[in-house]
Structure formats: C-alpha cells, structure tokens
Structure 1
Amino acid sequence: MGLDTAVKKPHEQLAAFLADDLAAVDAMIRDRMASRHAPRIPQVTAHLIEAGGKRLRPMLVLATARLCGYDGDDHVKLATTVEFIHTATLLHDDVVDESGQRRGRPTANLLWDNKSSVLVGDYLFARAFQLMVAPGDMRVLEILSNASATIAEGEVLQLTTAQDLSTTEDTYLTVVRGKTAALFSAATESGAVLAKADEDMAKALFEYGDALGICFQIVDDLLDYWGSAATGKNVGDDFRERKMSLPLIKAVAHADTDEMIFWKRTIEKGDQRDGDLDAALALMAKHGALDATRAEALVWADTAKQALSTLPDHPIRAMLHDIADYVVARIT
C-alpha cells in the first residue's frame, strides 16, 4: 500500500491514503463555515471542528467513493456535508446534555451560550443541505436527508428513554442506530451511490457503516464506565446524566430488589450521592454487564468486517477492515 503500517493507526493510514481529498474537505469546511454577517458562526464552528477530531465520518465518504472507482470531486462536497451534520449534532447534544467538556476542551455552549450553540448548529445543518444537493443525485440526497431526520429522531428517543429503567436492549439499539449509526451508514452508502456502484456493493457498504456505527457507540458507552483519562472519556458522565446505555440496561436487567431500590434512587429520581458511581460499577461487575457489553461490541465489529468480505480486493477495503478492529481496540 506504500504506507508505514507499523507506526500508523488504521484511521491514520486511511487519512494518509486520502490526503489530497481530506485537504480539499478541510478547505471546503473553512470556506463554507464562514459568514459575512455573523462572525460568531465561524468562531463557534472552528472551536469544535478544529478540536482534534479524527474526521472519521467524512473519511468514510471519501474512502467508499474511491473504493467504488469514483474519480470526480463531488465526494468532497458529500464528505463536508457529513462533517457539518456531525458537528451540528454535537453542538445540539452539548446543550441538551448540559456538557462542559468535549475532546478535552470547554464546550461551545460553555464558552458562548446555549443560544449560540443551537443557532450555529442550525446554520451548519442548512449548509449541509446546500452541499448535499450540489451533486444533483437524488438518491444521494435521499440518503443524507433521511439520515438527518433519523439522527434527530434518535436523539429525541434517547431523551425520552433517559431515567426509564424499563428501557430494553432493543430500544437502546434503535437509539444507537438513530443517533450514531445512521450517519456512519449514510456516509458509506452515499459514497458508493455517488460512484454508481452496483446495488450489492452499495448494500454491503451500508451494512458496514451501520455495524461500525453501532460498534462505535457501544464502545463509547462502555468506556464511560470502563475508561480513564487516557481514553479521553470522563468516567461516569452517562451515570450522572442518567442515560440508559447498554452497561446500565444489562445491570438493571439482573437487579434484585435491593439493587432496584438503588437504581430507582440514582437513575429514576436522580438522587445521587458520594460513592454511588462506585456502587454502580460494583453492580455492573457483579452481573458481568461490562464484559457482556464488550462482547456485543466485538460482535458488531465482526459484523462490519464480514460486510466487506464480498467487496473486491483493494487497499481501502483492507483499511476499512482494520478500522473496525481499531474501534474496539480500546476495550480489548
């Protein structure tokens, strides 16, 4: 592949392979997040976009388009679209979650205010729609616009399931498919569709993105209880925000009467005291909830890799395969 795979992580290998495309995406991001009349828009947007994210979602658009033989430049517009949708949802999420930190930096709503975060998020959604219509491909537009609606639906569903101890694993999966996996699968499928790939190839790449996105979110939720400062996660945030993530759902499903009293106090009522996070972690360990969550993440990583097995041999296919392993590397 002409890359030093011994020193680069999988997403870094892919970024190196797509270096020219990514440079074009970065240039388009800077151009399209500008505003002649509202200087706060580029200030807020730059704070988040330049915070060190891996650009994984836009890379998936670029990678799948190239994997399918695309040789134009509209994939840059779609990759920028995906990054703007992702950034808009982060701005809105931080307001909803009342977050004070993201990627080790103060959140935009903390540095500015909630109104600015919401309105700039709305601006980025509008910019995303301007970009997604540019290629003139109705199916691509359908994929990305449907994903935008699904993401919002998933966020609302998560909001309604928070503090609800009756939330099932099926409902959790619906939330995850909405708020996270929808953008992954839209990224991978739209790249294939833009390249005029056949239906089987587009379907395989959709399934890869779907499984990768689910795996990504399960790992993220697991690290909220199993992580450390080294992972970039603030351990216990989901517990404090009373989110019904998979580790918690699994622990509650095996709770006895006394344990349910604890969960009702801390999650339903929000009466959290010193030592409650440690107690929650002990209950999760007692019932094997963290190990079971880890096992599910590994299954979804395998599902993502299996989806690639029908695709033609290509350096990008190998890198996408390795990215699925990389997503779960922090929990193995």
Structure 2
Amino acid sequence: MMGSSETNDALVDFVGMVRGTGYHFTTVTPATHARINARPGNAGARNLRDVLGWSRPFREDVVPPELFAAMRRAGIVERDGSGWRPTIRLSSLDGELLVHSAYPPTATDAVFFGPDTIRFVGAVIGHIERRTNPVRRAVDIGCGSGAAGIAIAKRVPGAEVVLVDINEAALATARLNARLAGVSNLIARASNLLDAMEGSFDLIVSNPPFMLDAGERTYRHGGGTLGAGLSLAVVEAAAERLAPGGSLVLFTGAAIVEGDDPFREAAMAACRKAGLDASYREFDPDAYGEELDDPAYAQAERLALVVLTATRPL
C-alpha cells in the first residue's frame, strides 16, 4: 500500500487536504459494505465520502481538481474502465483519519480496519483510563493499521509504544498513520507475536484475526480450533512477557458450541497456569452471523466478541 518516502509525503499532504474538507467516515463490516454498495444508485461515487469511504469507482469530476491531482501524486488511484478507483480508504477514529486498504480487502496482505477496530481501541482506552500502574513500555501484537498503538501513544506520551505484525504492508501503513497522528513515541517492527522483541511490557494489547478463512488471508485467518489458534497464542506469548503489574487486553472472537466457549476455557487455563489475574466478558454475544453459513462453523451456534484482561500481580 505504501511506497517511497516521496509518495508518503504526498499522501500525508493529501490526507491533510481531506481533513480540511470536514470528511468523516465510520467503516462498517465487509458484509454491510457490500449491501450498501449494492443498493440502486450506489454503483458509482457521487462525492468524496463515496470515494474514500465506500471505495466506489468515480469520474474525475466527482472530486475537486486539487484533490484529484493530490490523489494522483500520492499514487492512490488506478484506472477503472473510463473512470478511476481508489486504492485506500480513510476512516475516522479517536479524532484521527486512518489509512487502510480499500474495499474489498481481498489481498493476502490487506490492512484491515472495521467495527472491531473501533471496539478494540475503545477497550484499550478504557483500560488505560482505569489502570493505576504506569505504562513505560507497550506493544500491540498484530497491529494492522496501528490504530490501538496510536491511541496508547497519544495517552501515554512518555511510554515506548511498539507495533508488531508479520504483514509488511500493515507495518508501513501503521508508520504512516502514526505520522498522520503526530505521535513520535511509536515504532513498528516485523515480528511473529513477540519473537523478535526483547524484554517485558507493562501493556500488551491485541485484536488478532479470529475467523476461519478458506484463503488463509493474514488479516483474517485465526487458525486452530474454530479460529481461536492465534488468539490463544497471543495469550501464551503475553503470559511470558508481562512485567509485574502489567496487563494484557485482548479483543477477539469466540465460537460458541452448544452453549460452551472453548476459547474461554483454554485462555483462562493459560492465565491461571501463568499466575495471571484474569477477567473475561462477552462484548457482543452475536456477531458476524453470516459466517455461520460456512461449513467450517457447522458446530458453532454463534460467534461472540469477547474481551480478555489479564494482569500479572505486583
């Protein structure tokens, strides 16, 4: 998604111009996005929000000439028949405009952003506001667009905030979004979980992929039993690297089978084994119902969104 430093400079300038228009967009799930774009009259863009939010193809005269020229300089449009199509989206969150992949996010290295990003960042902000122990070092595992790490860096400017991901496109996007947000206490590094990182952390956050995805796209596929493999791996990695008084905030999904939550049982057992104090709650008892049509979820009766908070005692 990102290119040379010159291209990134042009993209920073473009986002600044968009911000000046008062642009605001709340990104929805891919299923909702598809439904809205399929409505009569929504095949093509009519305004800037349709272009940069709904990822609709557009005629050059739909956006002001200076904005279209800035899009060309930033390299974020491509030909689509007789018109154009954007290659990024801009979403609003926590007072920022964040760059991520255009719809549909079908590429294996797509940088995903959606309602779960908003929920996750809200959970992280709430935890920071409640905690009493200082945060000197924090990490976001599987950072994607960098939204959560940026929210932490803004609220704890004296902390070192690290964003890790195995997706180089995500790391490049996170660096760009950090620059757009004006945070300087944040670094992005390639790492599988915390394998490439050293030392302990006062705060570990993660919103890992939790779906069973036939294409095993990086941003979506959780693997393991009913998609919980990566989420459980995050719990186990955090259990080894939390400093005394440090906390994990994990926002993920859990497949419920005949009233039981296998992920909860496994995650809480891992926390007990590591001597962590943990709490677990369902944020939303029924999300992504369309996924239940997939044969991979034949035994699941619902998909819940959950928040696990685990703390190492002082």
TM-score by length of 2: 0.30
Q: Greater relative contact order: 1 or 2 (C-alpha under 8 angstroms, separation 6 or more)?
A: 1
Query: In proportion to residue count, which structure has more strand?
Result: 2
Query: In proportion to residue count, which structure has more helix?
Result: 1
